[in-house]
Every structure is written in structure tokens, then in C-alpha cells.
Structure 1
Amino acid sequence: MSARLVKVCGMTRAEDVIGCTEAGADWLGFIFAAKSPRRVTPAQAAALPRTSAKRVGVFVEQTLAEVLAIMAEADLDLAQLHGNQDADFCRAVGPQRVIRAFWPQKHPDLGSLAAEIAPFAGAVRFALLDAGTAGGGHGQSLDFATLAALSPPMPWLLAGGLGPDNLAEAVRLAAPHGVDLNSGVESSPGLKDLAKVRRSLWAVRGK
């Protein structure tokens, strides 16, 4: 249980970068999607402190060249792709540097979802299963128990409406390799509630 990866997304403030790292987050997310209330510019992300946590850029509408340029400017370790980018796009960014989002609610069953994920074997480091049918940051939760039967060809992260009150159940039922937290650990969009972050880490790792 304690090895489960925890990512906290939507970093906009230095105190949240530091506080989430101190709470035990492995990865921190910086959102570059134009429509997100948590959006930061590459320069803003670059100015936020470097900690022991890996830095992840969240992209929706950017081209490959833009993703690579932003990763360099903002000093990012990984790219989380939410724009239906294909496997070739992911390989071009770098298989070990990509988290690719998928939306179970777009599919009639797990078999259909598994068929969409399969071509990304070897092209991404993690799959991320998010609520809704596109984008991210919906604040909704997936059907945790159903996802337990999924066995994609890469490790996967669970996202969507996760916070201190449902994380223990989510991890127990869905058995993901990690979780991605955002709105469920905020006081308002882009402002993290560090007490909720700490409670969430405890719920995932039992410490």
C-alpha cells in the first residue's frame, strides 16, 4: 500500500509546492490547459520551487513542439496528456515521460476501454483514468469497483473527485498503482488545503 504513487495536481503557489512535497506527494502537476482555472504559464511554473517531487505538465490543446518547449522552459519531468494524443505523439515526447489520460465513461464496457488503451503499450509510462468524457478537473468520481477488473499493459493512476473522504475506499476497491488529486484537496481552484492533502496521503498510505 505504501508504495502507491500520489500526484497532487494544479500547483499555482510556492507554499503548496513545498507543503504537498512535505506531506509526501511524489509528483506535482502544473496545468497548461487554456480553459483551466488552475492554468499557469511556463514562466510561472518555472518560478515555483524545485523540490524532491517530480514535476508534471498537464496538456490538452498543445502541439508536440509546444509540449516539448514548455517542458524545457518549465523544468518538467513528465507530460500528462489529456487531448486524445495518439501513441506516436506519446513516443515522441518520450515513453518514460508520458502519462496518457483515458475516460472510462466514454466506453460501454471495460473491454472497449481496454481496446483503446492497448495501442499505448510501450508508448507511455502510466495511464490515467479520469472522470467525465474529456479534459479533466471535473470533480466527479468513477465507479471504483468496476475498474478493479481492468488490467492495462502499463501501471495506471486513478483520478476524478478524490479526497480524504473517499480515497481509502477508492484505493481498496479499484487497486490503482497511484492516485491523482486535485479539486478534492483544495479550498478553491488552484489553492490547496494542506490539511486535506495530509489526510489524503494518510488515507492512501496509512501513515
Structure 2
Amino acid sequence: MKKYLLIVVLSTFALNLNAQKQIFEAPDLKTKIQEQKTVAIIPFDVIITYKKIPKNFNKEANDAQEEKMSKSIQSSMYTFLLRKKDKYSVQFQDVDKTNILIKKAGLEDKLDETTKDELAKILGVDAVIGGKYEIEQTKSEAGAIATAVLLGGFGGKTGTGTLTLTINDGQSGDLLWRFFKTLDDNISTSTDDVVEHMMRKVSRNFPYGD
């Protein structure tokens, strides 16, 4: 019986490891990367759900928090990459410029309806970094959203989720690289923590490293 339980535990552990991190690289990734000079980071698609809906749940507040985190993750990633810019083979467009160009083009609420090559042309870049952050809140307090808005993230062990990071070619719009990571509730304290945690896992595989 003990041997059977050990096999089950080890099998579950192996499955969890496989589920935690997945990386895709296009066959022509290295060739495309060598041709690129400037890359834009667009706002992330953020989805916040609840295991148990708070009593005073406010959809407008939830939507506002998703939008806030969308640009917060974008900004955190830009800051992280800027700190290590000497290690990368490309330059990253200032996110304020990126967001202004997106706004001028009337695409703030239409990014999911715009192809990456169309977006790259508008932004004047060779590639586009984007992604999706999905989190299920396990914190049941009614003030969870208000706390999150104030902190710019989630204060403590409040939920679990997944984060996907993608790089698309600016000319063709094709997906060149994709990183998927399951996040546990230990790292969801703020968007800076989320990005820092993810990029530490990604660093060895991030294609723009020299």
C-alpha cells in the first residue's frame, strides 16, 4: 500500500512539474531574432476570477483592477528588461510611447482584434511581446479588490493562476516564442513580484539574450 501511494505521489509531482512550465520556439526563431532591433511590450490581457465570489463583489471595480494590472505588468516587465538591457540583443520601446501610439490608433480596447503585424507597423517595431495573466482569487474577504487596487497587486497568499508570455514577429505576425508558467499563491504579492519570478524562470530561454 505504501509503495502504491509513493508511486501516486511521484506521478502527481511529475505531472505538476510538466504543467508548471512550457516553452515553444518556432523553427526560424534564431533567424528572425537576428533581424530584429526594436521590440514593443504591449499591455497584458488580465483575467481575475474568484473561487468564491465576495459578498460585495463589484464588477466595475474588478474590471478596473484588470485594466490596472494589465499596464502594471507591462511596466514591470519593461523595467526588468531595462535593468538588464546590456544583456539583450535588441532595444525595448518605452512603454509610455507604446501606449500613446496604441491610444492614438484607437486600439486600447481592441488589442485582441488586432493582428501582431498590424500592431508592429503602428508601433514601428520589429516584434511584439505580449501575454496573458489569469488568476483565481481564493481570498474571500469583500475588500479583496479594494486592497488589490491600492497595492497594485495582491497582498499575500491570495490566489493561484497562470502567466503566458509571447513574442510575435513584426513582419508576418507569426508566433516565434511562447512561455507558459503556472503560478502558485506564494508569488502573487505584486505585479513586480510576478514578473520578477517569471523572468527568473525565463532567463535561460529568453531568446533576446546575447
TM-score (ref. length: structure 1):
0.28
Which structure has more RCO (C-alpha within 8 Å, separation ≥ 6)?
Answer: 2
Is the radius of gyration larger for structure 1 or structure 2? 2
